[in-house]
């Protein structure tokens, strides 16, 4: 036993090789560090830039308004009556510790309206209250908007790529592993699958459509719950013919096995989806949503971005499948699922990371172009793109043109550099 473990440690795994190669790529490593920093800003945005104080003593009472505010946002608690709908700056404090940047992205500083620049004369009490990156037309602090825009950008990357990954992994591994000849079914099962599909759609989505839309109106989490339930119903109905497959084999003609050209089907689907101009498709999907919401935009971006991942994974799996160690595994008599899950997929996943990395960059770009055009994102939501769009109408406000755009640029570059680093790490020949 101990001897075997020793052996495993000696042989360097593919992932270890990739990590070693990646660490040699200085720009990529620095990008990763910078990314962690940006990510940190993103998750702690409420603590960095907030109109509420960290700590306040009012009339002998002690409050932690920033923390409380986060609790209220998550629905865990409510404001005490004396603090609901107050203007935080006008309160009489016995003692107060303001946030690092004492403005929320939506705080409108009425004394510094209509684009006050960082070097202009600002109407503020002291340097503590200065708008270091200027303000916009409504007197909102640009620095605060930049910090909170980071949260939005990170969320866009994570949510849209999770959606894209789910779909991409599913379709990619289906097409790549089974190819055109490996998925065999009896004729009857194929027919029954075609018949079951409309029924599954009907009971999973059509019947439950009002439940789903009502849940959407309540909260995104409730919707997600109901949606998963719908998916479960769908999968359950579709499973019936496929589980019965083995019993059909005894039937003379209908029980004959034919192979499904799953690779052709998936490839064609990808080809069709990719020939639709994605920005136009996104715009028209977003246009049919009555109530703009960032969450919906993120999910839709994910839905239009999975094809890249699927295509990549398919190619990788097709390559890996013909490698000798898979043949060896087959010769050893391992079952199919074990070969897919334990041998081929892990070796292809590293390369999927590359398309995820580039995918996040393009998702962030897409979201910021959408909010730049003022489509799909609610008007009160402050994002990098929406801040940048203000510069279109107001050419003298160079600070709204430069800073948000620079943030988008840096973030996109980081993900591109990481993607490049991963590509080179996987295929060191490129480096030469």
Partner 1 sequence: MFSYILKRVLIFIPTMLIISILTFALSKMSPGDSVRIALGNQEAQGETNGSSDRMAGEKAYLDMAQQLGFDLPSFYFLFSNAATPDTLYKIIKKPERDNLERLIGQYGDWPEIEQYYHAVKAVDLHLLDVKKDSTIFDQDKLIRDDAGKLLLEYKDVTIQDMLTEMDKASATSPLLAGVHQDIQHLQASYTAIKQKATPSKNMIPSLKWYGLNNQYHRWLSHFLHLDFGISYIDKRPIWSKIKEALPWTLMLNLISILLSYLIAIPIGISSARNKGSIGEQATTVFLFILYSLPVFWVATLLITFVTTPEYGMDWFPTFGVGEITDQMSWSEALMERVSHFILPVFCITYGSLAYLSRQMRGGVLSVFRQDYIRTARAKGLSEGKVVWKHALRNSLIPIITIFASLLPAAISGAFIIEIIFSLPGMGKVAYLSLQSRDYPMVFTVMMFSAFLTLVGTLISDILYAVVDPRISFDK
3-state secondary structure of 323: coil
Closer CB to partner 1, 88 or 399, in the complex: 399
Distance CA 136, CA 390 (A): 8
Shortest Cβ 391–partner 1 spacing (Å): 5
Q: To which H or E segment does residue 167 belong?
A: helix 142-178
Closer CB to partner 1, 283 or 349, in the complex: 283
Shortest Cβ 348–partner 1 spacing (Å): 22
| CA triple 259-261-262, angle to 5 deg | 110
User: Residue 431: exposed, middle, or buried by beta-carbon count in 10 A (0-12, 13-18, 19+)?
Assistant: exposed
Phi, psi of 306 (to 5 degrees): -80, -20
Q: In the beta sheet, which residues pair with residue 95?
A: 57
Closer CB to partner 1, 198 or 335, in the complex: 198
Closer CB to partner 1, 106 or 413, in the complex: 413
State the helix-helix crossing angle for 398-426 and 26-43, rounded to 10 degrees.
130
Instruction: Kindly list the residues in this chain that would bind partner 1 in the complex (CB under 8 A).
Output: 198-199, 201-203, 206-207, 209-210, 268, 271-272, 274-281, 283-285, 287-288, 290, 361, 365, 368-369, 372-373, 385, 388, 391-392, 395-396, 398, 401-402, 405-406, 408-409, 412-413, 416-417, 430, 432
Closer CB to partner 1, 255 or 405, in the complex: 405
Torsion over CA: 58, 61, 63, 65 (sign)? negative
CB atoms under 10 Å from CB of 72, counted, come to 15
**What are the helix (H) ranges across 249-344?**
262-274, 278-287, 294-321, 324-331, 336-338
Shortest Cβ 409–partner 1 spacing (Å): 6
Closer CB to partner 1, 86 or 264, in the complex: 264
Distance CA 263, CA 183 (A): 10
What does the block give as tokens for 75?
């629905």
Shortest Cβ 170–partner 1 spacing (Å): 20
Asked if 144 and 45 touch (Cβ cutoff 8 Å), the reply is no
Closer CB to partner 1, 354 or 417, in the complex: 417
Distance CA 387, CA 399 (A): 10
Shortest Cβ 349–partner 1 spacing (Å): 24
Closer CB to partner 1, 104 or 366, in the complex: 366
Shortest Cβ 121–partner 1 spacing (Å): 18
Shortest Cβ 272–partner 1 spacing (Å): 5
Distance CA 122, CA 134 (A): 9
Shortest Cβ 405–partner 1 spacing (Å): 3
Shortest Cβ 286–partner 1 spacing (Å): 9
Q: In the beta sheet, which residues pair with residue 63?
A: 56
Parallel/antiparallel/unpaired status of strands 257-259 and 184-186: antiparallel
Closer CB to partner 1, 93 or 398, in the complex: 398
């Amino acid at each position: 036993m101990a001897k075997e473990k020793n052996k495993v440690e000696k042989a360097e795994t593919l992932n270890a090789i990739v990590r070693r190669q990646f660490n040699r790529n200085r720009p990529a490593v620095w990008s990763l560090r910078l990314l962690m920093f940006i990510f940190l800003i993103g998750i702690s945005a409420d603590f960095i830039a907030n109109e509420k104080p960290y700590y306040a003593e009012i009339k002998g009472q002690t409050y932690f308004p920033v923390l409380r505010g986060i609790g209220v946002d998550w629905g865990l608690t409510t404001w005490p009556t004396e603090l609901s709908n107050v203007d935080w700056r006008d309160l009489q404090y016995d003692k107060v510790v303001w946030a690092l940047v004492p403005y929320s992205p939506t705080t409108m500083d009425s004394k510094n309206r209509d684009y006050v620049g960082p070097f202009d004369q600002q109407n503020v009490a002291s340097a503590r209250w200065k708008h270091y990156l200027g303000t916009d037309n409504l007197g909102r602090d640009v620095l605060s908007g930049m910090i909170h825009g980071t949260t939005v950008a990170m969320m866009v990357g994570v949510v849209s790529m999770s959606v894209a990954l789910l779909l991409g992994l599913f379709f990619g591994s289906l097409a790549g592993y089974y190819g055109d000849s490996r998925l065999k079914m009896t004729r009857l099962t194929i027919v029954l699958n075609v018949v079951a599909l409309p029924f599954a759609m009907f009971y999973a989505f059509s019947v439950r459509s009002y439940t789903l839309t009502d849940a959407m109106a309540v909260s995104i989490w409730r919707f997600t719950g109901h949606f998963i339930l719908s998916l479960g119903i769908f999968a359950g109905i579709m499973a019936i013919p496929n589980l019965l497959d083995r019993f059909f084999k005894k039937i003379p003609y209908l029980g004959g096995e034919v192979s499904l050209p799953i690779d052709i089907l998936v490839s064609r689907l990808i080809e069709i989806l990719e020939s639709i101009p994605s920005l136009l498709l996104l715009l028209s999907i977003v246009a049919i949503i009555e109530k703009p919401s960032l969450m919906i935009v993120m999910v839709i971006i994910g839905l239009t971005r999975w094809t890249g991942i699927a295509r990549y994974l398919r190619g990788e799996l097709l390559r890996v499948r013909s490698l000798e160690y898979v043949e060896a595994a087959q010769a050893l008599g391992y079952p199919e699922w074990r070969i897919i899950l334990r041998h081929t997929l892990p070796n292809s996943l590293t390369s999927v990371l590359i398309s995820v990395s580039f995918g996040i960059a393009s998702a962030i770009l897409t979201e910021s172009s959408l909010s730049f055009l003022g489509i799909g994102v609610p008007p009160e939501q402050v994002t990098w793109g929406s801040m940048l769009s203000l510069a279109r109408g107001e050419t003298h406000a160079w600070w709204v043109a430069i800073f948000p755009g620079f943030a988008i640029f840096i973030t996109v570059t980081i993900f591109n550099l990481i993607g490049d680093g991963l590509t080179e790490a996987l295929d060191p020949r490129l480096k030469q």
